[in-house]
Amino acid sequence: MEQINIIKKDILWKGRFIQGVRATYVNSAGKVKTWEYIERIHSHVVFMVLFDQIEQKFIVIEEGRIPVARKVIGLVAGVCDIAGEFQEAAAIREAIEEAGCDPKRVILLGENESISPGIVNEVGTIFLGTDIKYVDKKDGEEENGIEVHSVSRDIIFAWLDHQQRLGKIIDIKVRGSIALALRIIEEEERTKNK
């Protein structure tokens, strides 16, 4: 595994959840260069694709996001910021808080994957949650205004395209994560029907 030789990191500013960093590093040609990026204070995030097997629907959320100043269609997600909490438990907690879904079965889809490596140090783990039990969605400060959408697996990609035409942004993780989840779901269905 090739590492980048970072000589020095300067904190340009620090906020409650993120900080701006200027890294001085040696590039592959041996030249000293700098790169500015955002560092998340709690850098590991979790995401969950929610799938209701009985209804054959994916559950996604929609919420306003300040950096893009628009509504964004995304997956339930959160930061692993509770001491001693495992990633799977954090993902389940977020599914309950944001979507009112308590998945009783959780499958790992991807671990320690970069979100946007050119601008932020954030890495995430993604899960598929099934065997959904519906519970009351939390309506705290962070969850206020989150809309929950339950969309048939047969039309999920067409529905996402339609939402985009309406001017909403689709989080880049949504389509690929749902496609990966569908592959797992279809493999399990084939095995079950043999």
Give the pLDDT of residue 106: 98
Q: Which residues contact 21 (CB under 8 A, 6 or more apart)?
A: 9, 10, 11, 12, 36, 37, 38, 39
Question: What number is the average pLDDT over the span 69-82?
Answer: 91
The closest of 40, 48, 50 to 121, measured between CA atoms, is 40
- Which segments of the chain belong to CATH 3.90.79.10? 44-192
Domain 44-192 superfamily per CATH: Nucleoside Triphosphate Pyrophosphohydrolase (3.90.79.10)
Q: Quote the pLDDT of residue 52.
A: 98
Q: What pLDDT shows up at residue 43?
A: 65
**According to the model, what pLDDT value does residue 140 have?**
60
Q: What is the DSSP letter of 138?
A: P
pLDDT band at 141 (very low <50, low <70, confident <90, very high): low
The pLDDT > 90 percentage for the chain reads 74
Q: Decide if pLDDT at 1 tops 60.
A: no
